[in-house]
Structure 1
Amino acid sequence: MKRIFMMLPIMLLFCSVMAQNTFRAKILNIQTKAPLKGATASIPGLKISAAADTSGLITIANIPNGKFEIGITYVGFAKSETVYTFPQKNPGQIVEISLEPSTGELAEVVVQTTRTNQNLRDVPTRIEALPQEELDEKSTMRPGDIKMLLGETTGIHVQQTSAVSGTASFRIQGLDSRYTQLLQDGMPLYSGFSGNLSLLQISPLDLRQVEFIKGSASTLYGGGAIAGLVNLISKVPGETPELTVLLNGTTAKGADASIFYSQKWQHIGTTIFGSYNYNGAYDPSKNGLSAIPQTNRFTINPKVFLYMDDHNSGWVGVNTTYENRLGGDIQVIDGKADNAHQYFERNKTFRFSTQLSFTHKIDGQNIVNFKNTVGYFDRQLGEQGFDFKGRQLSSFTELNYVRNAKKASWVAGADLITDHFTAKPPQSHLNYNLTTVGAFIQNTYKATQWFSLESGLRLDDNSPAPNQPSSGLFFLPRVNALFKITNHLTSRIGGGLGYKMPTLFNDESERDGYQHTQPLNIGNTRAEQSYGLNGDLNYRNKLGDEAVININQLFFSTRVDRPLILQNNFFINAPGYLTTQGAETNIKLTMDELVFYLGYIYTDTRQHFSGLTNTHPLTPKHQFSFDCTYEIEGSFRFGAESFYTGPQLLSDGTTGKGFVTFGLLVQKMWKHLDIFVNAENLTDRRQTKWGSIYTGNITNPDFKDLYAPLDGVVVNAGIRIKILN
């Protein structure tokens, strides 16, 4: 009997050990589905807690049998508290817990552009992000493209390149469009021959976040990211199925029909986006030319997501777009051409690209990523007496390794980029080939709670190589520092080198329609090389219980040596350099349902050629934006916005007028239905009001620089039906 009593405590201890359980959960942002690294789970009754790893996974071991409340917390998100019973019905399962961002600007945003999936506040590189809710608003304002989305972002200027076809490019901090990169999911799908049509062929309904880097981003993304980049982050399947249909019509003879579907099962998921966009030729100024061309566009973007196990996941996708865009003389578009009315511009394009992404999680800190895209773009550009046909075949392949530790994060990788352009006779002399092999490494070191340093290095080898001194080999260092001065005040300072290989595809050749453009000999032309610096101060704080204010002040300066210029139809290196410098101010005040936003940018871009200094044309020095939004979440939204664009120098030596535009949005939301009405440019600012936009005659017009809208007042209205949500 004595032995039995002696064994009883041992048996009880054994049973207690055997009754230990493990709780595993993946913590996600309910809106973006991004993992919340560093989220904390705690069990008050047991006085134990754990933090999420880089994939958002939390593991708590040694939980005894019974019922326990587990709380999940993350800065900027509402707390989740749930009672779980142990042992669980399915031991070892991973519970997905989605947290709702808190009201106001203090909510966290996870960014992908730096590859480490960190919180926006913790990244030394200055990144701006438009989250899902802002993209939902933009999709009702202009469902067919992202031209407005970029144009209303402080520091980004959308430049129309054709007066009758609507093609456009975007500039960051006063530098031409060839110095910027447009990415989707970190991959360059839109560049080269297709660049000036890209903004018009991407719908915001297919996006869950847009990230901006203003300033050199060449370390991770190579040549072309001198002024910065825009990364479009696509939607992914959520825990609940989604089926959204958007129908829209405009007073400018436009109509849009879009559909988005997503669903996730245990090991597979899918998203499918499709759209049809139509516009009739629209001439508000009655000058006989289309301010908006006649357009027919079809888009289908399906993706399949694979969730093989806890360590392996990936997705494959296809991007397909067909568009027929006809602008020019209204009589020609209507089929009533005669001897006087003959001018037109037709763009027939077909885009087909594949995307592949695969991620292997070695453990909670180490990840290997592989991604690839292959793009085919066929474009026929026809004008009166001229026909230009070309095909672009491009590819991007990258393998990278990411390590996220408590003090330091590493990103290292290599990529291969190919760009092959073939023009059909008689323009075969414009054929273009470029292959770039690159390797990069980046380290983010959190030295203290108040200081982090991000440094990177990239080495690119280009073939064929440009003229000396680089011979195609470019060494690109970059460094950025984050200072958390107080809980409310932070500062970022950084800079880096960049380069851009010589290319025919830029705004000047687009405006010319490639009619007179002469071939480019890369071996006889130097690459453009840049040096950039930027620094900002960011103040963020609560004002009382309901209000939040965020003030950001940015300063920037970039120099580009030997920029390409068009001279006598040949692209040559300018004898000198180009500089841009300025300041950008952003103020956002959130007061519960009411949000005010004020943006201002001062840009001074100058050419320093042959010992002379001149202002760079088509670059307004002053731009203001003001936005006010009142929103009752899930019920009602009202928005008013105004934009001022200051006078700007034109290439003929004259100065374009400054102008103000004004817009309104009203949207009523129910659980499964939204109705919206939006009006743009209510002040009816049109360049055609201030004079003719061309010289010569209507038969063969020679267009002037475009600096103001041509389409005038445009009102759109529509419905968004959320069948599954």
Structure 2
Amino acid sequence: MSTLFQPTALVGAIALAMGFSTSVSAQDSSNVVNASLDTLVVTATRSEEKIKDVPARISVIDEKTIEQSPITDLPTLLTKEAGLTIKQVGGYGQTASVYLRGTNSSHTLFLQDGMRSNIATIAGTNIPLFDLSDIKQIEILKGPASVQYGTDAIGGVIQLISKIPTENSIFTTIEAGEKNTYKSILGVDVAEDGFYAQIRGQRFETDGDQIIANDERKVGFDQKGYSAKVGVEKEAYGLSAELKENKGTGDYFSYGSPKAYDFLNRLYNLQSRINLSNSLTWNTRLSQFEDQYNVVKGSYPSIVNTEQQEIDSNLKWQFSQHQNVLLGVEYNKTQAEKVAAYIGDEGFNSDNETIGYYVQHQFKNDIFSTQTGVRVEDNQQFGTHTVGQIAARYFATQNTSFYANLGTAFRAPVVGQIISEPAWWGGNPDLKPEESVSYELGFDHAMAYGLQVYGSVYQTKIDNLMVSDSSTGWKFYNLDKATFTGSELGLKWKQDNLFANAEYAYVQPKNDDTDEDAPNRPRQNFTLSAGWDNGVYGFTTSLVAKGPSKDLQEIPGYATIDMNAYWQMNPHVKVFTNIKNIGDTTYKAAWNNEVNSYYLASGRLASAGVTFRY
């Protein structure tokens, strides 16, 4: 297993990069940056505001970054953020877990246009299976957000926000590369006098990579899907209807034998806005998210389905020039089912309902931006929880601001953690909900010569942390306490067409019961991205470096380098190229106790593509 560069293999890839290209933003050129000060975000407060006013740390992956490589999946994009760690046991379509600021993979809430997309049968979500073909922006909110969104948001929130057409357009994008990997997208946008419609269709396929160190077999993945959105945006009201479906099949290994799964995820979303007056706005969302994951190859097939229905309605009152209050109620019904798929198989069927009431106050002027809130959530299975937040940003000068954020959060066990039959599932009906309190201080400072520096220090304490390990036969149980302490420091620079972005993050994820680090979280993470872009040509090189971590075995650190470039030949044609993991570093991702070997992360993938737009 080599971690060295392979010069011969790189000759073709570098030649490819010299001739083709993809879109890179000169303003937000790294895959994940803190975004320009005028970038608008919605995740932190449920309403649109400039990122410079948010009294918390929030990062943005912008549209140009997402479009620079259509074959790039969500785990790969998130890897470029120093403040979180991705544990993916292989490449495309393989299980991936997100550890945001060192917290558990179940402590990050995933949203799609406001709809909760975590899965009730597992402690997390199927992020490798999400398609990004219609996504405009990915927002990463770090820190507790249970006041805004209820359970799961202990470490933070990652929200995928879809596009709203602003002009008439039709386009097609094709990207193809090594390992018989390709993706094609066809899109149509219509926009006229506030009315709009959007359609996307996509198809992706790859032969995949070797994912087990002592087994040369590769695992393939393919998916296809579509999305459609129609709506209207007027000054007095807005209305949209959205449908998204993504399905496919993937290979994986379990107990040394090859297996395969089919998947389908589908989102229905209806959203409305009514301006009742100049100071009063009423927003309502009705959503449904379905997730199906069926093992179709192997000794023990299984069918696991989750369906969530959600209604959220809130009233925003701008009662003075500088102050507003948000009052809302959110209802969620989740049904999880495992179907008995063979003789002797045991299934389950469970549902749960929650209803949350929240209130949030904001104050903004030239000196302060504050956010306070309270949420009371009644969980049918686990009772009532009350959480709160108080946060403020102080603008010391036009170029310098400081913020403080204090918040509590909670997470209720999901079906997959509490069912006792079948016993091998690992459920424990006696689990208690997790409760947390987080403290954070940070600053942002703009200097001369296009330099910006930012930093944060934080600590999150969690009671009743839910874990499972080999000592209990992988049955879930509660720890008394865990503490996650860390810091982040970033530097951004832009001068004419040149740019660079760097971020260093440190976290100590401590199990207070044993005084040891929690698994799968490297203490040190570093990312660096630099390049040149004049709007016609662009080139970027990105470095991701992660320190060692613990799993069932020691996981060594690694460093990978990605490259991308583009040429906008004319307003209608863009050609681009990408080289992922240019050194073909086959680093270890996790320990597989079943076959006494390591999972491997993806190797090099060189690709090129073209977009035609009219």
Q: 393, 401, 426: which is aligned to 1:482?
A: 393
Distance across 2 between alignment mates of 1:450 and 1:375? 41
TM-score by length of 1: 0.74
Q: 497, 520, 525: which is aligned to 1:618?
A: 520
Match of 1:607 in 2: 511
**Which residue identity does 1:487 align to in structure 2?**
Q
Alignment of 1:197-236 (within 5 A): 198-236=126-164
Is the Cα contact below 8 Å between 1:115 and 1:411 reproduced in 2?
A: no
TM-score by length of 2: 0.87
Match of 1:332 in 2: none
Match of 1:421 in 2: 336
Which structure shows the bigger proportion of residues in strand conformation? Answer: 2
Is the Cα contact below 8 Å between 1:181 and 1:224 reproduced in 2?
A: yes
Match of 1:319 in 2: 244
**Which residue identity does 1:591 align to in structure 2?**
Q
Match of 2:537 in 1: 636
Matched, 1:191 2:99: no
Cα deviation, residue 428, structure 1:
4.5
Distance across 2 between alignment mates of 1:193 and 1:572? 13
Cα deviation, residue 165, structure 1:
5.4
**Which residue identity does 1:112 align to in structure 2?**
V
Is the Cα contact below 8 Å between 1:368 and 1:399 reproduced in 2?
A: yes
Tell me the SS of whatever aligns to 2:314: strand
Match of 2:282 in 1: 368
Tell me the SS of whatever aligns to 2:397: coil
Is the Cα contact below 8 Å between 1:165 and 1:328 reproduced in 2?
A: no
Q: 345, 352, 356: which is aligned to 2:270?
A: 356
**Which residue identity does 1:660 align to in structure 2?**
A
Cα deviation, residue 423, structure 1:
0.8
Q: 151, 168, 177: which is aligned to 1:241?
A: 168
The 1:704/1:439 distance shift into structure 2, 3 A limit, reads farther
Distance across 2 between alignment mates of 1:327 and 1:439? 42
Match of 1:252 in 2: 179
Cα deviation, residue 310, structure 1:
3.6
Q: 108, 111, 124: which is aligned to 1:180?
A: 108
Residues 169-210 of structure 1 deviation map (CA, whole Å, 9 limit, x = unaligned): 212001121000111122213433488663223343412222
**Which residue identity does 1:275 align to in structure 2?**
Q
Tell me the SS of whatever aligns to 2:468: strand
Distance across 2 between alignment mates of 1:285 and 1:106? 41
**Which residue identity does 1:305 align to in structure 2?**
G
Cα deviation, residue 722, structure 1:
1.5
* Sequence identity (%): 17
The 1:430/1:626 distance shift into structure 2, 3 A limit, reads same
**Which residue identity does 1:587 align to in structure 2?**
L
Is the Cα contact below 8 Å between 1:369 and 1:400 reproduced in 2?
A: yes
Q: 196, 206, 223: which is aligned to 1:297?
A: 223
Distance across 2 between alignment mates of 1:259 and 1:222? 36
Match of 2:88 in 1: 160
Residues 424-462 of structure 1 deviation map (CA, whole Å, 9 limit, x = unaligned): 12555543322110000000123x531232100000000
Is the Cα contact below 8 Å between 1:245 and 1:721 reproduced in 2?
A: yes
Cα deviation, residue 503, structure 1:
2.3
Is the Cα contact below 8 Å between 1:582 and 1:601 reproduced in 2?
A: yes
Residues 616-652 of structure 1 deviation map (CA, whole Å, 9 limit, x = unaligned): 111101111111021011x111011111111112224
Q: 26, 29, 42: which is aligned to 1:112?
A: 42
| Structure possessing the higher radius of gyration over alpha carbons | 1
Distance across 1 between alignment mates of 2:110 and 2:403? 24
Cα deviation, residue 243, structure 1:
2.0
Matched, 1:668 2:586: no
The 1:203/1:519 distance shift into structure 2, 3 A limit, reads closer
Distance across 1 between alignment mates of 2:541 and 2:250? 31
The 10-residue stretch of structure 1 (146-155 or 212-221) with the greater mean CA deviation from structure 2? 146-155
Is the Cα contact below 8 Å between 2:511 and 2:517 reproduced in 1?
A: yes
Tell me the SS of whatever aligns to 1:686: coil
The 1:454/1:377 distance shift into structure 2, 3 A limit, reads same
Distance across 1 between alignment mates of 2:361 and 2:352? 29
Distance across 2 between alignment mates of 1:622 and 1:615? 13
| Unaligned 5+ runs, structure 2 | 1-26, 28-33
Alignment of 1:70-81 (within 5 A): none
Is the Cα contact below 8 Å between 2:139 and 2:158 reproduced in 1?
A: yes
Match of 1:48 in 2: none
Matched, 1:533 2:439: yes
Matched, 1:518 2:426: yes
Distance across 2 between alignment mates of 1:194 and 1:259? 33
Distance across 1 between alignment mates of 2:388 and 2:581? 43
| Unaligned 5+ runs, structure 1 | 1-75, 77-103, 330-340, 466-471, 696-700
Is the Cα contact below 8 Å between 1:324 and 1:349 reproduced in 2?
A: yes
The 1:460/1:107 distance shift into structure 2, 3 A limit, reads closer
The 10-residue stretch of structure 1 (588-597 or 371-380) with the greater mean CA deviation from structure 2? 371-380
Distance across 2 between alignment mates of 1:211 and 1:281? 28
Matched, 1:460 2:377: yes
The 10-residue stretch of structure 1 (432-441 or 380-389) with the greater mean CA deviation from structure 2? 380-389
The 1:705/1:493 distance shift into structure 2, 3 A limit, reads farther
The 1:289/1:474 distance shift into structure 2, 3 A limit, reads farther
**Which residue identity does 2:188 align to in structure 1?**
Y
Match of 1:437 in 2: 355
**Which residue identity does 1:129 align to in structure 2?**
V
The 1:621/1:369 distance shift into structure 2, 3 A limit, reads same
Cα deviation, residue 532, structure 1:
0.8
Alignment of 1:574-593 (within 5 A): 574-593=478-497
Is the Cα contact below 8 Å between 1:323 and 1:350 reproduced in 2?
A: yes
Cα deviation, residue 570, structure 1:
5.6
CA RMSD of superposed structures (Å): 2.7
Higher normalized contact order (CA 8 Å, seq sep 6+, divided by chain length) = 2
Residues 676-717 of structure 1 deviation map (CA, whole Å, 9 limit, x = unaligned): 1111112222136x9x9656xxxxx536565xx522111121
Matched, 1:714 2:605: yes
The 1:111/1:588 distance shift into structure 2, 3 A limit, reads same
Tell me the SS of whatever aligns to 1:141: coil
Is the Cα contact below 8 Å between 1:498 and 1:529 reproduced in 2?
A: yes
Match of 2:300 in 1: 386
